[in-house]
Amino acid sequence: MVSSLDDTKRLSIATKLADMKALQNLLIENEQQFIQDCTDDDIRDRLQDMLEDDRKNLGVLETVIIQYGVKSEPKEITQQMVDSVQKLMSSELTLFEKVSQHELLKHQQAMAGLLIHKAAQVVGADIEAAITPLNTVNFENRAHQEQLKGILEILGVRELTGQEPKQGLWGRVQDAVAALTGVVGSVVTRTDDEMSIRDLLLMDHTKADILFGEILGSNDPEKIQEYFGQLYKDVKVHGTAEEEIVYPAIRPYYDHTQEIYAQTDEVMQMLDEIQPLNPASSQFKAKVEQLRTAVRTHINQEEKDVFPKLRDNFSDEQQKQMATEFKTIKSKLQDEIAATKK
């Protein structure tokens, strides 16, 4: 029988993503306080830009967590660290000392994002596809570190001497950020705080294609179980969310909406028929091949017919709102699946 239990490595990555979300909320909280406490207009403007990036990146993280498809809570030690930093930020530390702690948090966040990226390369190509938007968070955290170093130099010199540091500081900061862009800019995926519904659907389609390839390309029953368990959850959640959000919206514009409802229902039934099979059995991969054909037929029709209907009949804001609703349904369904395992 194919289990849909989370593989340990996938759950570890999910926990690290949850840690990053907890830390992202802390970064936002800190920056809001710094802006209130800072009297330097230039520094405050730079902090405001950083805050806007971090609010956007919180949305990116939430999208990555939902697209990843495995839910977890932050580690207890992470929450303890957050509580400890919050106490420091409300203490009598100087602004320089508080920003110093904040820069360390930025470094921690940047390293966590890099670690997840590297772990995904080892664990599975489908994970790499799901976490692609994390690239922009990783890049901006590194750029923020360079800007925070500049802020710390100004605050530190003022605190120690009462005077201004030598000029040319922000030029060096911009050069450092530009150098970072040259190093990692080719792998950065810039994204709004909310992608459109077509972006999210396409990400799900790509991930499903990769999982099918991983299942059919493996002869290890344990790996097949891991991959099918993820595919089962992803497709079930994706299909249910489409039936609740996407299909009702496009029905007035698309004459074959009932056909894609039927395709989704067929795929759901096929998943349930495959789930009890032994992944080492001869019929398992044959059934998965049939499932892949059905899923690919559905995806082709959706991308060829439904995507243009979404593009032509809904504004950018409406498509983003639909994406928000789609993610909300997916997150709720993922929580329900996780709850059944406890």
| pTM exceeds 0.75 for this model | yes
- In the numeric block, which tokens belong to residue 222? 């344990």
Q: Domain 8-187 falls in which CATH fold?
A: Ferritin (1.20.1260)
Spatial distance between the Cα atoms of 47 and 38, rounded to a whole number of angstroms: 9
Spatial distance between the Cα atoms of 208 and 126, rounded to a whole number of angstroms: 8
pLDDT tens digits along 15-71: 999 999 999 999 999 999 999 999 999 999 999 999 999 999 999 999 999 999 998
- Assign 89 to helix, strand or coil: helix
- pLDDT (0 to 100) of residue 186: 39
- Match 């709004």 to its residue by tokens: 192
- pLDDT (0 to 100) of residue 194: 65
- In the numeric block, which tokens belong to residue 261? 């409802």
Spatial distance between the Cα atoms of 341 and 319, rounded to a whole number of angstroms: 33
- Of 284, 5, 17, 237, the closest CA to residue 127 belongs to 17
Total residue count of the chain as it appears in this document: 342
pLDDT tens digits along 36-48: 999 999 999 999 9
Q: Which of 99-108, 186-195, 270-279 has the lowest mean pLDDT?
A: 186-195
pLDDT tens digits along 218-265: 999 989 999 999 999 999 999 999 999 999 999 999 999 999 999 999
Spatial distance between the Cα atoms of 183 and 172, rounded to a whole number of angstroms: 17
How distant, in Å, are the alpha carbons of 71, 146, 260, 285, 297 from that of 293? 29, 49, 15, 12, 6
Give, in degrees to the nearest 5, the angle at Cα 123 between 77 and 291.
125
- Assign 202 to helix, strand or coil: helix
- pLDDT (0 to 100) of residue 184: 42
- Of 65, 199, 236, the closest CA to residue 137 belongs to 65
Is the CB of residue 304 less than 8 Å from the CB of residue 33? no
How sure is the predictor about 99, in pLDDT bands with cuts at 50, 70 and 90? Answer: very high
Spatial distance between the Cα atoms of 140 and 110, rounded to a whole number of angstroms: 9
- In the numeric block, which tokens belong to residue 129? 């596809």
- In the numeric block, which tokens belong to residue 214? 């991983």
